[in-house]
Chains A and B, each alone.
Chain A
Amino acid sequence: NAGVTQTPKFRILKIGQSMTLQCTQDMNHNYMYWYRQDPGMGLKLIYYSVGAGITDKGEVPNGYNVSRSTTEDFPLRLELAAPSQTSVYFCASSSRFSGTDTQYFGPGTRLTVL
Chain B
Amino acid sequence: AQKITQTQPGMFVQEKEAVTLDCTYDTSDPSYGLFWYKQPSSGEMIFLIYQGSYDQQNATEGRYSLNFQKARKSANLVISASQLGDSAMYFCAMRTDKGAQKLVFGQGTRLTINP
Contact = CB atoms under 8 A, between A and B. Distances in A.
Q: Do A and B bind each other?
A: yes
Interface of A: 31, 33, 40-45, 48, 50, 56, 58, 88, 90, 92, 94, 96, 100-105, 107-108, 110
Contacts of A50: 99-100
Interface in B67-115: 91, 93, 95, 98-108
A30 to B, nearest CB: 9
A42 B102 CA distance: 14
Nearest to A96: B101
Nearest to B42: A107
Given A42-B108, A50-B99, A107 B44 contact: yes
Contacts of A42: 4, 91, 93, 105-108
B103 A103 contact: yes
A108 B99 CA distance: 25
Given A90-B45, A105-B45, A45 B50 contact: no
B30 interface: no
Interface residues of B, number: 24
Contacts of B98: 101
B12 interface: no
Q: Lowest 7 A-B CB distances belong to which pairs?
A: A42-B105, A105-B45, A101-B101, A100-B50, A43-B105, A42-B107, A107-B44
A41 B107 contact: yes
Nearest to B92: A42
B35 interface: yes
B43 interface: yes
A50 B99 CA distance: 8
Contacts of A40: 107-108
B52 A100 contact: yes
A45 B108 CA distance: 16
Nearest to A44: B105
Contact of A108 (B43, B50, B103): B43
B102 A58 contact: yes
Contacts of B107: 40-42
Contacts of A44: 105
Contacts of B99: 50
